[in-house]
Amino acid sequence: MRRCLVVIVLALLVAGCSSMAGRRHNERRGHFVTRTLKLEGRLYRYQVFVPASKVPQPRPIVLFLHGSGERGDNGRDQAEVGVGPYLSQHTADFPALVVLPQVPDDEEWLGVNARMAIATLDAASAEFNADPQRTYLTGISMGGYGAWEIGLMQPQRFAAIVPICGALKAPRDERRTLYVSLVAKEADPYTAAVTQLKHVPIWMFHGAKDDSVPPHDDRALYRAAKGVGANVRYSEYPEGNHNAWDATYADPAMWKWMFKQRLR
């Protein structure tokens, strides 16, 4: 009996040490957590990247919007492409919270899904003590469209926006649902978008050889931005195709620029 008690006590001690070691590991490195959100009768799963505990609070927060291939309801695929792999490689030094919501199959970052993305940002900001002066928005492909849509919904909220291989208009006839609704009825949607976001720092990225979402909309947005004096940058990769996000998220200059921006 005594021997059994000794074994049980030792097992509890080992479990306790393992738990403490796991907590210390999470404190030293950032990690992903899964959360759920119920909105307008729908249940959504989303991810939050929580940085290492050494990151001072309140912490910057980034809302990331995925592309078409990561749609679904498993709450995981949106972390597999775009910013997610970069975060997994930089768990020890990435200095911000990142929220990664997920759009259901065959839907866009429009309507309830845009409201859902904002709601996940609200929830994560409250739970993890985000800095409202350092809230950022980025998205890839379909999420690049979403970055414009959500940026236009809340133009006073974001300290900077980074749309990657996005656009305003549908890229082809078979995907007419992919567009930015808030400027769709404007005679000149490009000027309308950059005028409404005139005081928000924006840095667009695109591959010159993108055959999924050609870069002409980003070029038109940049021309319009220069015309109205908007705070917009544009970088185009001469040999880049659609996955411009890999080079963009791997670029320290982009992150340095983003995290320098603050609401005033």
Residue 91 sits in a domain whose CATH number is 3.40.50.1820
pLDDT of 8 > 70? The answer is no
- pLDDT tens digits for 139-198? 999 999 999 999 999 999 999 999 999 999 999 887 999 999 999 999 999 999 999 999
pLDDT of 17 > 50? The answer is no
C-alpha 97/C-alpha 110 separation (Å) is 24
Position 37 in a domain: yes
Position 3 in a domain: no
pLDDT of res. 28: 86
- pLDDT tens digits for 97-122? 999 999 999 999 999 999 999 999 99
40 strand-pairing partners: none
pLDDT of res. 130: 98
List Cβ neighbours of 58 (8 Å cut-off, separation of 6 or more).
129, 130, 131, 132
Mean pLDDT of 248-260: 99
pLDDT of res. 172: 83
Asked if 82 and 158 count as a contact pair (C-beta separation under 8 A), the reply is no
Position 243 in a domain: yes
Q: Among residues of the chain, what percentage have pLDDT more than 70? A: 90
Position 140 in a domain: yes
C-alpha 9/C-alpha 237 separation (Å) is 61
pLDDT of res. 174: 76
List Cβ neighbours of 161 (8 Å cut-off, separation of 6 or more).
136, 137, 138, 147, 148, 151, 197, 200, 201, 202, 203
| Tally of domains in the chain | 1
- Here the tokens at position 110 are 């429009």
